[in-house]
Structure 1
Amino acid sequence: VTQRIGISDIIIVYSRPSVNDREIWGKLVPYGMNNLGFGTAKESPWRAGANENTTIKFTDDVTIEGKPLKAGKYGLHMVINPDNSATIIFSKNHQAWGSYFYDPVDDALRVDVSMKDISHTEQLTYIFNEVEANSAVASLNWEKKQVPFKIGVDVSKVVLADIRHKLENAPGFQRQTWEQAANFSMNNGGDLEEALGWINSTIEGMFFSEKNFGNLNTKAQILNKLNRSAEADAVMDEAMGMATVFERHGYGRQLIGQGKKDKALEIFKMNAKKHKGEWPVDYGLARAYSAMGNYSAAIKHLKIAATRAPDAPNKNAIAANMAKLEKGEDIN
């Protein structure tokens, strides 16, 4: 079973024994550490499955219940206790049969967890639940018990490392790779100076460099995050001179999202002047006036926008926004 978190994969390989009306916990799976009567181990945990060693592989560094564990493949073992607690063991030895040759010297990590009661699961099953942007819970389900453990991934760190690798290889010959790198770093807690260097490379200095609205806008956003607002404003002034009607519209919406309502209205008015009668300039003005609480002006421009909407989805969106404005609700 496999789960991806960001660009990191977690792979669990295991066998699936059945309950078959047997008593599992404390009997078939004995509590604590035990001498299994075979192999070199004097005390062995449960193999957390059947037959060969259950294994778990991480393509990148992770945390298990908050504790760090390096990327790699591990033997997965468990110590089950009668008080509904369990210890998860990640062993560097992932090639031995079962846990007959378990040696604590090979432990890479041990974590303690609490078991949960669940509905009957006939065949032992590993699942991933509670999957989030930076974590997932891996759970062993069998009979009426679940053994869960939380796996965390520093997705931004992993992706940024992957980005740096790509920039040094074939994808780095494309301007878009550098633009994507700068945008990801800017929006995901990366090094802003590094991101600024990446976006500057797309603007000038490289064989693929090409100054355009998109990379100038990204540069301005990075500069703003670096508290270099005067430089950011100068960059955006340059970007406005080469913006399309849709790029200027998008920038206006970006400003509304940042709470810069007056500046947004200025941009939407500029768009309407440069692209008189075109879609979606009046939609932009409607959004700007709505953000400022001037719903009557917003309705006026939204009615004009409705006559210029190019397709059914936009017409439907305008109708929905008109209903909001008529109720005195902001459409942003």
Structure 2
Amino acid sequence: MTTILLKTSRALGATLGLSGLLLASSAEAQISTPQPSPKSTVTQRVGLTDVTITYSRPSARGRAVFGDKTLVAYGKRWRTGANATTTIKFSDDVTLEGKKVPAGEYGIYTIPNKAEWLVVLNKSTKQGADVDGFKDDQDVVRIAAKTYKLGNKAETFTINFSDLTPATANVDMQWELTGAKFKIGTEVDAKVMAQIDEKVIKGTAATPNDYAAAAVYYLDNNKDPKQALAWIQKANEKDPKFWNVHTEAKIRMKMKDYKGAATAAEQSKKLALEGKNADYVKMNEDLMLEAKKLTK
């Protein structure tokens, strides 16, 4: 009898222990609901530099956004979003509106006004936007971002990248009917030239793709056309591709060798026909027509 009671007691204890764990687990579990200001991350390669912005996106929901006694008051520091501090990260050194900023991650704070916003990058990404907690001595750069009126209302605060060039882009902040943007500049030429120097000029194992890339960069950036021609010819020596032969035609046009340009374009067209690429066929025909006109 004692043995039976002991086993029953142990079984009951195990059951109660399991129930306790389940209750504790249920108590710790939280209900997941959509956030009113959801987190967003946008990344853009600008030149050869990766730029990442992480922020939370509040919505207007019928409220006046910018102005006096509004959601975002003029002349007061704003965390440029909601919830945690908005951050921006650069993989390399950049410039913001011409001012140098080292590679790294920073908090973005803004002081909106009607005509422009003051944009502040600060070393701290967690200090908050309130006046008492903000540390001005941690500022990295301060720049002005001109405002403009949006054509369509932006219900939800949005940060994106616009006006991309091979070395620059604008960070564009939009909400309600207001937009404000500032320019990021990156170093491209020095980096590309260092690669060309290492792989093509000093290197001993340059591939046709390396020669072609160097030639295209020289062509697009108005560098020595004779050198560009020498490199594209090396790229085309053993296995000419219609796009590379077309590059040779464009380089020769730039050098005013119209006869040579037409010959290269004719070869590129033939290769493009074999490759069934109508776009390059048309581009070569246009180049040959232009070369013919300039030969006269």
TM-score greater than 0.5 by the shorter chain: yes
1:156 Cα offset (Å): 1.9
1:89 Cα offset (Å): 0.4
1:31 Cα offset (Å): 1.9
In the superposition, the TM-score normalised over structure 1's length comes to 0.56
1:260–1:74 distance in 2 versus 1, CA, 3 Å: same
* Paired amino acid for 1:8: T
Q: Equivalent residues in 2 for 1:133-172 (5 A)?
A: 133-160=166-193, 163=195
1:221 Cα offset (Å): 1.2
Counterpart selection for 1:124 from 153, 157, 161: 157
* Paired amino acid for 2:227: Q
Q: Which residue of 2 aligns with 1:31?
A: 74
Q: Which residue of 2 aligns with 1:50?
A: 82
Question: Any gaps of 5 or more consecutive residues in structure 1?
Answer: 34-44, 193-217, 225-231, 269-279, 288-301
* Paired amino acid for 1:77: Y
- Number of residue pairs the alignment of both structures matches: 237
1:59 Cα offset (Å): 1.1
Q: Equivalent residues in 2 for 1:165-314 (5 A)?
A: 175-176=206-207, 179=211, 183=215, 186=218, 221=227, 243=237, 246=240, 253=249, 254-261=251-258, 264=260, 283=266, 310=274, 313=277
1:313–1:68 distance in 2 versus 1, CA, 3 Å: closer
* Paired amino acid for 1:16: R
Query: CA deviation digits over 1:198-230, x for unaligned, max 9?
Result: xxxxxxxxxxxxxxxxxxxx9x616x9xxxxxx
Report the more deviating stretch, 251-260 or 181-190: 181-190
Q: Which residue of 2 aligns with 1:73?
A: 105
Whether 1:60 and 2:92 are equivalent positions in the alignment is yes
SS of residue paired to 1:255: helix
In the superposition, the TM-score normalised over structure 2's length comes to 0.62
CA contact (8 A) 1:136 1:152 kept: yes
Query: CA deviation digits over 1:165-204, x for unaligned, max 9?
Result: 986xxxx895339757865775577999xxxxxxxxxxxx
1:144 Cα offset (Å): 1.4
1:249–1:86 distance in 2 versus 1, CA, 3 Å: closer
1:311 Cα offset (Å): 6.3
The structure in which a higher percent of residues are strand is 2
CA contact (8 A) 2:128 2:134 kept: no
Whether 1:4 and 2:45 are equivalent positions in the alignment is yes
Bigger radius of gyration: 2
1:4 Cα offset (Å): 1.0
Aligned partners of 1:8, 1:68: CA distance in 2, in Å? 14
CA contact (8 A) 2:121 2:142 kept: yes
1:159 Cα offset (Å): 4.0
SS of residue paired to 1:221: helix
1:6 Cα offset (Å): 2.0
Aligned partners of 2:247, 2:57: CA distance in 1, in Å? 55
The alignment-based identity, stated in percent, is 26
Q: Which residue of 2 aligns with 1:210?
A: none
